[in-house]
Amino acid sequence: MSPLPGFTPFPPERARRYRELGYWRSESHGALLRASATTWPDRLAVIGGADRWTYAELDARVDATATGLVDNGVRARDRVVVALPNTAEFVEVVFALFRSGALPVFALPAHRETELTHFAALGEAVAVVVDGTDPAAVDRAVAVADRVPSVRRIVLTGATVGSSDPRVTGLADLRAAPPRRLPEPDADEVAFLQLSGGSTGIPKLIPRTHDDYLYSVRESARICGLGPDTVQLVVLPVAHNFPMSSPGILGALHAGGTVVLAPDPSPTTCFPLIEAERVTDVALVPPLALVWTAAAASGTRDLSSLRLVQVGGAKCTPELAARIPQTLGAPLQQVFGMAEGLVNYTRLDDPDDVVRLTQGRPISPDDEVRVVDDEDRDVPDGAEGHLLTRGPYTICGYYRADEHNARVFTPDGFYRTGDRVRRLADGNLVVEGRAKDQINRGGDKIAAEEIEDHLIAHPRVHDAAVVAVHDAFLGERSCAVVVLRGTEDPAPSAADLRAFVRGRGVADFKVPDRVEFVDALPATGVGKTHRSDLRAAVAGWFRAPAVDHA
């Protein structure tokens, strides 16, 4: 079959090699679940709220839901936007889509109407799946379906609210028909579309195949020592690449472990869950790890079941790295990954200083890592440069983004990660900074241009630059530096502009934390490519000891 339009397949030579090496095993996600359900039918697979499903139960539900999806007109390769909180039904829906051959588009519950509409339109999605117990989420799904003609169905999880809208179906209704075993999709097909953190105005979709993704999942599970005794607590948004596959939910289900979905990441919710379910593994972003270590130091909950605490998504400081084993009583593993592919781990038997001071090394011996200067010349080990990578589970192109792909992939297929790193002689990477126009707000990624475009839509905003400012808790926060124009109406205040951006229908974490007004932005050359220089100059104001915008 010809590849999905808009997807850049791996070059045949490399694909052949990854198969010969046994990395790609022609296994689909649906087959992974089936294999675990055959080996461990009675073990608990998923716990979420009141739901506690064994592997056999999960597998049977997935067959029923997949059958319902197909009977409702969802076909192989159709795209379906999934925006669900951390519930057991998320796992059911996503595996049902995998088995039907349809492609989940992994939105976050934080995403709002503008973002969901964009994902649905770019993916020409046929359906959206949202939490039926959240009236605002249902309204958003209806608004998306009204705006994007390809969206024919709205699927609601949870105790569904009644709706007269013929497009609305409850997940439970989908399960009504007798289940059939559907043929598994080919493993070299695109399995889903993940979201990029983005640095340009329009967030990109990342196509991952069954073959490439499951290689990273199996190896992650092995590197992290997962097995049938693993109890994995998922506190980060479930659709994000880190809790999904590093080794995450998929790694735990591959290993015969149990996945526990936490409805929110607070210690108040999670510590009792750790105690009750004897949780062994958890993945955190640095700000959460700060909150957890503080709570554990003064808390009374029994966290002694913890075996591994992973921290990633943003840089973990050496101080935090030292505090984690002391207060949470389990070793730390640093994880430096990206939805586009490459994932680095410190290893469980690494010396303390490697775990504390580095972000680890790649999963695969065939992850090719280059650290280069501005002219793409390799720099020596220990020197800082741009990280480029190519390998058995790193994409060769974003979905439907030819122009962008020409810029962020080298002619020989290396992905320009936008991260600045040092590679040490032992192969471990240290993340030093970023060349991409992104704010990493405690692991949540914000594309500067996306928010600038929203600000500039305000009638009184002439220009805006959105930059990162240091923050002791989140690592970075976003600051919008704004030039106003015109004299009509009162000038907007910082609060007005924040409300304006929120009102444009974007996730809360993208609303600028701070807004500064200036008379002019630094002069740079004309044209788009110089926006990066402008942002760098503005970011410099916040690092300088005295700020003088004049």
Chain positions contacting ligand OOB, by CB under 6 A? 197, 241-242, 246, 312-315, 334-339, 343, 359, 417, 419, 431, 434, 440, 445
The 3-state DSSP class for residue 220 equals helix
CB of 197 to ligand OOB, least distance (A): 4
Peptide bond into 351 cis (omega under 30): no
Q: How far is the CB of 418 from ligand OOB (least distance, A)?
A: 6
- Please, what is the minimum distance in Å from the beta carbon of residue 344 to ligand OOB? 8
The phi and psi torsions of 534 (rounded to 5 degrees) equal -60, -45
Across 473-498, b (16+ Cβ under 10 Å) vs e yields: ebbbbbbbbbebeeeeeeebeeeebb
Of 498, 504, 499, 497, the closest CA to residue 113 belongs to 504
Q: C-beta of 37: minimal distance to ligand OOB in Å?
A: 26
Least Å distance between CB 417 and ligand OOB?
A: 5
| Rounded Cα distance, 384 and 181, in Å | 52
Tell me how many degrees the CA angle 443-387-10 measures, rounded to the nearest 5.
95
In the complex with ligand OOB, which residue's Cβ is closer, 117 or 417?
417
Nearer to ligand OOB, 112 or 445 (CB): 445
Least distance in Å: CB of 212 to ligand OOB? 14
Least distance (Å) between residue 116 CB and ligand OOB: 18
The sign of the dihedral angle between the CA atoms of 409, 415, 418, 422 is negative
174 dihedral zone (left: phi>0; alpha: psi -120 to 50; beta)? alpha
Nearest-approach distance from CB 507 to ligand OOB, in angstroms: 13
Rounded to whole angstroms, how far apart are CA atoms 115 and 231? 33
Strands (E), 14-164: 44-48, 51-54, 79-83, 103-106, 127-131, 153-157
Q: Are strands 79-83 and 103-106 parallel, antiparallel or unpaired?
A: parallel
Q: What minimum distance in Å lies between the beta carbon of 185 and ligand OOB?
A: 24
Find the shortest distance in angstroms from Cβ 246 to ligand OOB.
4
H or E stretch at 433 = strand 429-434
Rounded to an integer, what distance in angstroms lies between the CA atom of residue 485 and that of residue 472? 34
Query: 461-471 and 475-484: which strand pairing?
Result: antiparallel
What is the C-alpha to C-alpha distance for residues 84 and 205, in angstroms, rounded to an integer?
18
Nearer to ligand OOB, 68 or 104 (CB): 104
66 sits in which H/E element: helix 55-71
Nearer to ligand OOB, 142 or 316 (CB): 316
Nearer Cβ to ligand OOB, position 145 or 439?
A: 439
Least Å from the CB of residue 172 to ligand OOB: 32
Question: Which residue is nearest to ligand OOB, using beta carbons?
Answer: 337
Is the CB of residue 12 less than 8 Å from the CB of residue 19?
Answer: no
* Residue number with CB closer to ligand OOB (61 or 240): 240
Q: Which is nearer to ligand OOB, 315 or 370 (CB)?
A: 315
The Cα–Cα gap between 312 and 477 comes to 17
